[in-house]
């Protein structure tokens, strides 16, 4: 029963992508979704990018560039907000983050590897 509903949901998603992926406004929409993904972290950009590229293979490069631009602009927006507000803004949304082991590990890696670490993180999906 659950697999049938999942199959129907995926089918309706594919139909939606097929209907709109060739439109002129679709790549900017992908970029906007990628930007928003940096702010709210719930949009599956990789899945949208891959499925869109499979539906309209001739436009894969424009889709990929749109997602990359949107992600970059979203990251720059976060950097600007954090630069203005600082660590208190992060702690407002994630109050105990600086007490976690992962936070101290991240700081250690950033001190040791700096831009190389950012580049490696940027390569990951």
Residues 113 and 74 placed together within one structural domain of the fold:
no
pLDDT band at 115 (very low <50, low <70, confident <90, very high): low
Q: Which two tokens stand for residue 112?
A: 């040791």
Number of structural domains the chain divides into = 2
Q: What is the pLDDT of residues 64-92, one digit of tens each?
A: 888 888 888 887 887 788 788 877 877 78
How far is 91 from 2, CA to CA, in rounded Å? Answer: 39
pTM of the model: 0.65
Residues 102 and 88 placed together within one structural domain of the fold:
no
Residues 110 and 85 placed together within one structural domain of the fold:
no
Q: Give the domain extent around 34.
A: 2-93
Residues 55 and 34 placed together within one structural domain of the fold:
yes
Residues 52 and 87 placed together within one structural domain of the fold:
yes
Residues 25 and 60 placed together within one structural domain of the fold:
yes
Q: What is the pLDDT of residues 36-56, one digit of tens each?
A: 887 777 777 777 777 788 788
How far is 5 from 11, CA to CA, in rounded Å? Answer: 10
């Amino acid at each position: 029963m659950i697999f049938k509903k999942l199959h129907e949901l995926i089918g309706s998603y594919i139909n939606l992508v097929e209907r709109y992926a060739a439109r002129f406004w679709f790549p900017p929409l992908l970029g906007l979704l990628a930007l928003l993904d940096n702010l709210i972290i719930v949009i599956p950009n990789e899945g949208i990018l891959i499925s869109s590229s499979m539906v309209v293979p001739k436009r894969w490069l424009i889709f990929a560039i749109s997602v990359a631009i949107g992600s970059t602009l979203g990251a720059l927006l976060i950097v600007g907000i954090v630069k203005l507000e600082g660590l208190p803004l992060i702690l407002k949304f994630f109050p105990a983050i600086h007490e976690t082991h992962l936070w101290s590990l991240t700081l250690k890696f950033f001190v040791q590897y700096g831009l190389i670490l950012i580049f490696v993180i940027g390569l990951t999906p």
